[in-house]
Structure 1
Amino acid sequence: MIGTETTGSIPVHLLFRDQPEAVVPVGDDGGPDTIAMAAPTPPAAGRRPAIPAPSKVQAAPAKARAENKSQPQARATSKPQAASRPAPTADPALVERPGPVLPGWVGVVAGALAIAWCAGVVWWVGAVPAEAARMLRLPARPYHGINLGQWALLALGVVAALFALGGLGRGRVGYAWVLSLFGDYRGTVRRTGLVWVSPLLLRRRVDVRLRHWRSEPLSAVDAKGTALDVTVLVVWRVRDTVRAALGIDGHEEYLREQVEAAMARVLSQLPADAFHEDAPTLRDAEAVGEALTRMLSAECAPVGVDVFSAQPTRIEYAPEVAAAMQRRRIAAIDAKHRDSVLTSVVDAVDDVVHRLTSRGLVELDDYERKALVKDLTVAFYTGRTGPVEGA
């Protein structure tokens, strides 16, 4: 690779300049034109670049970033700018409140009384058969038909019985009822056991338990545009039942869509792997999960959903690039291993030669020193990289 590259001469005095300036060409030295570039500023020790929080402004142009680097104090005291996009909002009128509910025994007693009322009216008009009256030990009454008023009393008793018994329901642990009447929100019932709710109210059951959802492999790309397959585990719960049931069309579908959107935003900020440099990557599951949880919490809070955790359980390359990226990863690991071995060999050779010469054990001229260094380097490197006996 080096043999195919062309290089040009760079004036030596430009390598030690503090700030780059325009290069004034003095003459053609036979090589290509060169441009003086500023040396990269190393990151501060102990600091790890974190994934930025959601709803932040986009990065400034390169010129503005260069000015900010030269003025760290001014950047620290500057005020944050407005968000680049508005956060979702909810209807302020949709606030959860207790709904009208009575204990279940009230409905049972009212239904029993309504049934007894209907039976009394039937007996009073004499519509009870004689055999049934003798079995119940009731005095017989003559039957002369049922007039309009008696029909009204019977209808009233039947309606009361249906109204009392039709409102009975069983409240379960971990579930709530969102009540509405003709499209108007009437309250939320979180009570358990036998309860009575007006049968005129429409009930929507909402699961308020702590729930978890493991996504199927989702497609995404990292900061370098490499295709990825990511699986996310989300732990969430409905906090405000009215906003989850009436404020949005399907809060579960909304959560799934927001997971995919937030994942795309987070993963596109860092590369999946840094093969030849020590830089933050998506392999830091804690940082990625924290950023993903923060974004999802901000997006789902207006619809009454609390997101407690969103952690990527698997970040792998897509099948079409997995083989190529695996070869790159193996090559990078092999290069790092060879570099560490070569560094240790050079240090060992330098230590041996220094000890031999400093203690006066041998006197070496330049030719003998080069020969000794060569032989020691070959011996040490062969011993460190050779196969282990018995393996």
Structure 2
Amino acid sequence: MERVIKPVSGYLAVVLFIASLIGGVWAILLHHEAVGAILMLAGIFIGKGIMIIHPNHSRVFTFFGKYVGTAKQNGLIWVNPLYGSQKISLRANNLNGQTLKVNDKMGNPIEIAAVIVWQVSDTYKAAFEVEGYQQYVQIQSEAAVRHLATSCPYDRMEDETAEVTLRDGGERVNEMLEQELNERLFAAGIVVKEARISHLAYAPEIAGAMLQRQQATAIVAARSKIVEGAVGMVEMALEQLSRKQIVTLDEERKAAMVSNLMVVLCGEKAATPVLNTGSLYQ
């Protein structure tokens, strides 16, 4: 458990350090070697406890292997010279994860990468609960991204019933990744402030086939909309012709008219008109 301590100001220690060294040198010059040696040793002892803590940094102190506390007070401080100390930054860090090749939930090989913003929140855990907290963050982040990729399909073409997909999940996918990272990194005293997918694509060996499949799906969807609209327009045309009594059509003429209108409305190219100077039955 982290315990924050407030060390004494280091300015007085600096004055005593300089005074001890000057006094030691002066005593030696006056042939008081013993006094001079004591003053010099006292100055060195005092000087060893002087240190500087920069903004958003901390020092974790131990005393003969026992955790003493963490100093987060910025500036010049003085602590027991016998304390061991470890520097730990409290600044936010960016981890630009490498691109990983994994299989999604449906077994398709994909490439995925994430950008993670993390920060030390508990210096005791970061210093003593794990071996190298920065490496721990990197390895656990990679594991979390892999687990996310295998838990969701790439898109709904593979699983139409999927609630969340990697491609369309957006903020929901980022929230899932952030939550899992916080659970994994809690043991190291790390809090994840933001996690986002930075790269997502099919693996090169299937990218071409998947692109063709996406294009085919888009074409089918577009054709479906075109046909739906064309049927509505044909229905409206027949209804208005009948209501306004512009022309009376039997079933065979209606079928011919429907066929012609569907060709005109659904064709990819503009229709070429053909004038019929005879009747429908000639």
Q: What TM-score, normalized by structure 2, do the two folds share?
A: 0.87
Q: Decide whether the 8 Å contact of 1:98 with 1:187 is kept in 2.
A: yes
Compare the two structures and name the one with the higher strand fraction: 2
2:7 equivalent to 1:122: no
AA in 1 matched with 2:28: V
Unaligned runs of 5+ in 2: 271-282
Give the secondary-structure state (helix, strand or coil) at the position aligned to 2:152.
coil
Q: Give the counterpart of 2:68 among 186, 189, 192.
A: 186
User: Which residue pairs with 1:51 in the alignment?
Assistant: none
Q: What displacement does 1:381 show?
A: 1.5
2:253 equivalent to 1:371: no
CA–CA separation in structure 1 for the residues paired with 2:77 and 2:256 = 96
Q: What displacement does 1:173 show?
A: 0.8
CA–CA separation in structure 2 for the residues paired with 1:245 and 1:304 = 9
User: Which residue pairs with 1:281 in the alignment?
Assistant: 165
CA–CA separation in structure 1 for the residues paired with 2:12 and 2:172 = 55
User: Which residue pairs with 1:256 in the alignment?
Assistant: 138
- Which entry has the higher C-alpha Rg, 1 or 2? 1
2:194 equivalent to 1:309: yes
CA–CA separation in structure 2 for the residues paired with 1:352 and 1:278 = 39
CA–CA separation in structure 1 for the residues paired with 2:198 and 2:22 = 63
Q: Decide whether the 8 Å contact of 1:100 with 1:197 is kept in 2.
A: no
Q: What displacement does 1:220 show?
A: 2.4
CA–CA separation in structure 2 for the residues paired with 1:331 and 1:324 = 11
CA–CA separation in structure 1 for the residues paired with 2:139 and 2:25 = 58
User: Which residue pairs with 1:109 in the alignment?
Assistant: 15
User: Which residue pairs with 2:269 in the alignment?
Assistant: 386
AA in 1 matched with 2:190: V
Q: Give the counterpart of 2:127 among 245, 255, 271.
A: 245
Q: Give the counterpart of 1:265 among 124, 144, 147.
A: 147
Q: What displacement does 1:274 show?
A: 2.2
Q: What displacement does 1:213 show?
A: 1.5
User: Which residue pairs with 1:158 in the alignment?
Assistant: 40
CA–CA separation in structure 1 for the residues paired with 2:34 and 2:226 = 102
Q: What displacement does 1:268 show?
A: 2.3
Q: Decide whether the 8 Å contact of 1:168 with 1:195 is kept in 2.
A: yes
Give the secondary-structure state (helix, strand or coil) at the position aligned to 2:76.
strand
CA–CA separation in structure 2 for the residues paired with 1:288 and 1:264 = 13
CA–CA separation in structure 1 for the residues paired with 2:237 and 2:124 = 78
Give the secondary-structure state (helix, strand or coil) at the position aligned to 1:268.
helix
- 1:166-181 mapped onto 2 (5 Å cutoff): 166-181=48-63
Q: Percent identity?
A: 28
1:95-126 deviations in Å (ceiling 9; x for gaps) = 1113462212121122133224424533553x
CA–CA separation in structure 1 for the residues paired with 2:102 and 2:175 = 18
AA in 1 matched with 2:189: G
Q: What displacement does 1:199 show?
A: 2.9
Give the RMSD, CA atoms, in angstroms. 2.1
Q: Decide whether the 8 Å contact of 1:99 with 1:179 is kept in 2.
A: no
Q: What displacement does 1:162 show?
A: 0.4
CA–CA separation in structure 1 for the residues paired with 2:132 and 2:213 = 43
Compare the two structures and name the one with the higher helix fraction: 2
User: Which residue pairs with 1:224 in the alignment?
Assistant: 106
Unaligned runs of 5+ in 1: 1-94, 126-149
Q: Give the counterpart of 2:175 among 290, 303, 309.
A: 290
CA–CA separation in structure 2 for the residues paired with 1:100 and 1:173 = 15
AA in 2 matched with 1:338: R
Give the secondary-structure state (helix, strand or coil) at the position aligned to 2:4.
coil
Q: What displacement does 1:238 show?
A: 0.4
1:254-278 deviations in Å (ceiling 9; x for gaps) = 2222222222222223321223858
- 1:129-148 mapped onto 2 (5 Å cutoff): none
